[in-house]
Amino acid sequence: MEVLLNLSNSSVYRRPFSDVSMIVTSSILLPLCAFGIVANLITMSVIAKSEKLKTTFNYMIMSLCVSDLMSAMISPLFLYRRTWGFDEWNASGFMCKLIWAVDIWTSYVTSTHILLFAVIRFISVKWPAVYYKIKSIHVKATIATIWFATFFIGFVPFIIWFESKTRDRQSDAVDAKWPACTLSIEWVSAFRLYSVVAYSIMYYFPMLMLLVLSIAITYVLFDKRKRRESIIGRAGSSPQRQPRARLEARRRTKENQIMLQLGLIVGSFFAGYLPQTAYHFYTTGATPQTYQAKKLDWTIGIGTYICLRVSECLNPIFYNLASRKMRHETVSVLCKCCARPFTSKSRVSTSQATPKSSLPLASQSRDALEM
């Protein structure tokens, strides 16, 4: 049943979505929220606990997980903004500003991290000697700089420009079709200019560079393969041929993992952020007045946000798919977490079934020390 609101001019306002739309949207976004929080926490925990995974690339992946975790945590409020809070934002005005500021901040962090990831990956395959000179302190300093710079580029302007208020649904203003928590009408012109400049620098330039770097990495890897094949071919049937062939097989497996990981992360980034930025240009430029046009705007808006959430939820899966070490450590951590309750129960039952006097003296002493 659609909610009907009687406005002051006696006309009838219809929301651009139905109750069914709210249920369907919630059934998609809430599980994505839960999965995003759990998956990113697990990935962060795995990298933090494993010495094997403390590498240059995994430091960037861990920072990406922090960004995706923050985005997942605020996603229920974006769902509320597009559904139950569409006409009246009942949360605080500061919370409205905060979710928008955090959303754009984490988006910029993600785009710059993925570009940095691709640049360092290219260096590692093209100039390995240079790559091995990159220390963890260099990567951590770069990551901290990215978070600091994007805070001022994204967080600060958005926390100023966005607000929560009841929109005049009968006006000709561009915000007549927007949710209650959205861009302030006074800042629309500034936002249009900002989106052209900032999105070009923070989204479209990284996307272009990612395409170039992905092609370059693939070319370098296949060129190296050809050179190694020629060396193995010249070895003929010498005793060195078999060891070299086995080494080549391991190298190819590693190279395939490199291309797979980069391809999945880049593809996910494109699928999530291209629709979102395109919608921002569309909705701030068009001023549809018909009900069908407003309904289309709402559908595109929620659809692009779902694409963004799916993209960010896929990242932890891609990290594990493309790295055997990551998969092994993740499975190990999950097995330990699952086994811990059963181990605790078995210890309790054993201690209850065995009298203290029947335990060895060493065990009794150890129990006394632990009390």
Nearest Cα neighbor of 137 from 66, 44, 67, 56 is 56
131-170 per-position pLDDT tens digit: 999 998 999 999 999 999 999 999 999 999 999 999 888 8
In this prediction, residue 369 has a pLDDT band, given cuts at 50, 70 and 90, of very low
At 80, the pLDDT band (50, 70, 90 cuts) reads very high
Whether pLDDT at 237 is above 80: no
Q: What pLDDT shows up at residue 82? A: 95
Whole-angstrom distance, CA of residue 81 vs CA of residue 246 = 56
Quote the DSSP letter at residue 187. G
Instruction: Please report the pLDDT score of residue 114 as a whole number.
Output: 94
State mean pLDDT over 180-202.
Answer: 95
Q: What is the pLDDT of residue 358?
A: 40
pLDDT mean over 87-107: 96
Looking at residue 370, what is its pLDDT?
A: 34
Element (H, E) at 181: strand 181-183
Instruction: Identify the structural domains of the chain with CATH numbers, from first to last.
Output: 53-333 (1.20.1070.10)
pLDDT at 77: 97
Q: How confident is the model at residue 66 (pLDDT cuts 50, 70, 90)?
A: very high
d(CA 267, CA 95): 32
Average pLDDT of span 48-58: 86
Reported as a pLDDT band with limits 50, 70 and 90, residue 368 is: very low
Query: pLDDT tens-digit profile of 115-134?
Result: 999 999 999 999 999 999 99
**Most confidently modeled range among 266-280, 286-300, 343-357:** 266-280
Yes or no: say if 39 and 316 are a contact pair by the CB < 8 Å rule: yes
The residue-averaged pLDDT of 74-94 equals 95
- pLDDT(56) > 60: yes
DSSP-derived 3-state class of residue 298: helix
Residue 6 forms beta bridges with which residues?
12
pLDDT tens digits, residue range 246-258? 787 888 888 888 8
Per-residue pLDDT band for 341 (boundaries 50, 70, 90) equals low
